[in-house]
């Protein structure tokens, strides 16, 4: 087992959001049939924090997150899906598409509290061994770098880009999809979970979770 584990502290969204994400994922796979499907090992989610943590201290990480949740008014966290966007992340000529999410100020406070809680257990220099991989798969350098530099690149106002990843598509197809009208909607958290990451930020292996009361 690797000395480091690449984790994602994430929000599992409500069923309406899952349906929207899966429908978009099906469109992405029409464009790039070899792209990943949203399934049990590619869980639709909203990332709050990604880090390399010391594998031997995973139980301490989980306890620190649990304490943070206990001190947080989870009912005050709000998210609104506002658009489809993409990043040139992966194969040339393709983009990684997401549902772009607008987080509330309370979400940013929650992110900051999580960062403080788990920082004592973090490390750097993670390799493919820190991730979930399929046979023969290597983790892309862009994925390794994304987790390494998540702090400070994705922390706080003006930096954190909340989103639900929905898959890879050709750039021409993405341009057409992004030009379509988007029906904005609210996203309600069903749970907070810790996953071990895979390539392209996929939530591959559930480590632990906490239900969010409604």
At 93-110, the pLDDT tens digits run 899 999 999 999 999 999
Residue 100 confidence (pLDDT): 97
Interatomic CA distance for residues 144 and 126, integer angstroms? 7
Q: Helix 15-31 to helix 171-179 angle, to the nearest 10 degrees?
A: 140
Extended strands (E) in 106-158: 122-123
- Beta-bridge partner residues of 125: none
In the chain the domains, ranked by start, together with CATH numbers, are: 4-208 (3.90.1140.10)
Q: Which residues contact 79 (CB under 8 A, 6 or more apart)?
A: 11, 13, 46, 101, 102, 103, 104, 107, 162, 186, 187, 188, 189
DSSP annotation of 129: G
| Structural contact between residues 50 and 6, judged by C-beta atoms closer than 8 angstroms | yes
- Token pair, residue 211, equals 């239900």
Provide mean pLDDT across the span 120-133.
96
CA angle 50, 54, 60 (to 5 degrees): 90
15-59 pLDDT per residue, tens: 999 999 999 999 999 999 988 888 877 889 999 999 999 999 999
- Token pair, residue 162, equals 């909340």
Three-state DSSP class for 82? Answer: strand
Phi, psi of 114 (to 5 degrees): -65, -40
Q: Print burial letters for 46-65: b (CB count within 10 Å at least 16), e (below 16).
A: bbbbbbbbbbebbeebbebb
pLDDT at 90 over 80: no
Q: Minimal CA–CA distance to 166: which of 155, 178, 150?
A: 178
Q: Which residues contact 31 (CB under 8 A, 6 or more apart)?
A: 168, 169, 170, 173, 174
**Entry pTM:** 0.91
163-211 pLDDT per residue, tens: 999 999 999 999 999 999 999 999 999 999 999 999 988 889 999 999 9
């Amino acid at each position: 087992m690797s000395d480091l584990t690449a984790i994602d502290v994430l929000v599992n969204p409500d069923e309406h959001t899952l349906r929207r994400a899966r429908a978009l994922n099906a469109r992405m796979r029409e464009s790039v049939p070899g792209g990943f499907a949203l399934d049990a090992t590619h869980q639709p989610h909203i990332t709050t924090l990604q880090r390399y943590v010391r594998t031997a201290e995973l139980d301490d990480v989980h306890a620190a997150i649990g304490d943070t949740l206990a001190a947080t008014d989870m009912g005050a966290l709000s998210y609104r899906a506002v658009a489809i966007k993409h990043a040139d992340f992966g194969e040339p000529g393709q983009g990684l598409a997401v549902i772009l999410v607008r987080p509330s100020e309370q979400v940013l406070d929650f992110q900051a509290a999580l960062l403080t809680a788990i920082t004592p257990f973090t490390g750097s220099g993670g390799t493919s061994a820190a991730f979930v991989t399929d046979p023969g798969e290597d983790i892309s350098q862009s994925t390794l770098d994304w987790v390494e530099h998540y702090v400070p690149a994705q922390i706080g106002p003006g930096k954190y880009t909340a989103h639900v990843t929905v898959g890879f598509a050709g750039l021409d197809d993405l341009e057409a999809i992004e030009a379509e009208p988007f029906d904005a909607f609210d996203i309600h958290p069903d749970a907070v979970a810790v996953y071990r990451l895979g390539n392209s930020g996929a939530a591959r292996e559930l480590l632990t979770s906490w239900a969010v009361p409604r």
